[in-house]
Homo-oligomer: A and B are copies of this chain.
Amino acid sequence: MTIAAAVAAVVGDGAVITDPDVADAYRHDQTPMLDAGRPAVVCFASSTQEVAAVMRIASETRTPVVTRGAGSGLAGGANAVDGCIVLVTTRMDRVLEVDPLNQLARVQPGVLNAAVKAAAAQHGLSYPPDPASYAFSTIGGNIATNAGGLCCVKYGVTGDYVLGLEAVLADGRVLRTGRSTVKGVAGYDLTSLLVGSEGTLAVITEATLRLRPAPGRTSTMVAVFPTLVAAGRAVVEISRAGVVPSLLELMDHTTIVAVDDWQHMDLDRDAAALLLAQSDSADGGGTAAIAAACSQAGADFAVETDDPDEGEMLLAARRFAYPALERLGATLLDDVCVPRSRIPELVEGVEDIARSHAVTVGTFGHAGDGNLHPTFVYERGSEAAEQVVLRAFDDVVRLALSLGGTVSGEHGIGLLKRGHLADELGPVSVDVHRAVKAAFDPLGILNPGKSIP
């Protein structure tokens, strides 16, 4: 029996794809330039039991398994390898329970982030993590990559909201980690170990998520800067002022113009940078204190509004940042993160790198976390331009490391950053990573070639 037939016997004929043309859509995520193999079969699991049965087949036949949700990843973490089983979780898409008193939700991995938010909102609660892909990315993928988003500066990342997991091990056994209580120290923190492990340790089949009371009234501020470095300094000043914004985003000149060319939003096309901030609390002075810090750092002017609709309009420019840059050509998006105080050096260094390679870069991102997305734009289809951009990309990653930062703030390692990971971790950590991987997956069948060096 072929792998495909064995898998079909588990999930049903209606839940497998073997036609290479149809399977093609499941071979890679949204990252450009990366290799993707040809799977033996793509299958859609409907239950933990089916995932377990697929993993038993994989273990017995030593077949690689690449798990994926919506495939919205930006590091190639879900790219297929030749002969693998692509295990798709999108049919396991139920919110199993919302418990308003204990402020938690139990969900399947294939549910969309937006659906979890909506289910929480029905009970006056919120599920904060908000990657840009929240409308179409799955919770399983969010957990596998420890996805970030705009809220992180105040509310943290996906991992901060995962209380417990159900996951299928490489040999098909079902592991439960964590708990339904807000505190607990029984045993090792296997939950956090699985969060961000990019499908290399186990297949997540259920998650218990922490919810929060819905945030209070939100005010919004936009500040316009004459230089990018001044905007970077403003981030430091806001931190120094002791304010905790609920959102603090940056857009550089290239990004501003790209958005305005597309959306005609009357943005200040002369601005070197914009900072957008929100505050959902009066603690620390809210947006007024943020605006004052921006002025002190050299902002030309700052506007504030308490009106939620006006606030959403101001934020819209930021939400269009990446698609606006994508309209200009092929793109390669970086995801470096540095200590907040090093942002001025990072943004200046990125501009220097772009200049020295003569490439276009648009920088935007989560300035409040030190997590920026310098995005290189180049001519579609040009191999030569691609090579130049790859070198500039490498330079940015090295710059971030030299500033005490990390090669990936929120997108993950996948295939894209695998070459850089060992530089960040060092040899002892690499050895420990391999030992942990072997403890979970001795045959090495779970997402081989991804994430770990």
Chain A contacts to B: CB under 8 angstroms = 99-104, 124, 145-146, 148, 152-153, 157, 159-160, 169, 173-177, 179-190, 192-193, 195-197, 201, 212-214, 216, 236, 239-240, 242-244, 280-284, 337-341, 366, 369-371, 404-413, 417, 421, 424-426, 428-429, 431-433, 435-436, 438-440, 451-452
Contacts and interface: CB of A to CB of B under 8 A. Distances in A.
A187 B283 contact: no
Contact of A406 (B102, B181, B413): B181
24 contacts: A101-B340, A152-B183, A153-B182, A159-B189, A160-B160, A169-B428, A173-B428, A175-B429, A176-B426, A181-B339, A181-B409, A185-B410, A186-B424, A187-B425, A189-B193, A189-B195, A190-B432, A192-B193, A216-B284, A280-B283, A282-B282, A436-B436, A436-B439, A439-B439
A240 B100 contact: yes
The 5 closest A-B pairs by CB, nearest first: A192-B192, A213-B242, A435-B439, A101-B341, A184-B406
A281 B99 CA distance: 25
A46 B174 CA distance: 44
A327 to B, nearest CB: 28
A181 B405 contact: yes
Contacts of A371: 181, 183
A182 B124 contact: no
A385 B231 CA distance: 68
Given A181-B370, A409-B183, A409-B185, A102 B341 contact: yes
Given A148-B185, A186-B406, A193-B436, 12 more contacts: A101-B240, A124-B242, A176-B426, A179-B405, A182-B370, A183-B337, A184-B406, A185-B196, A185-B411, A185-B412, A186-B413, A187-B452
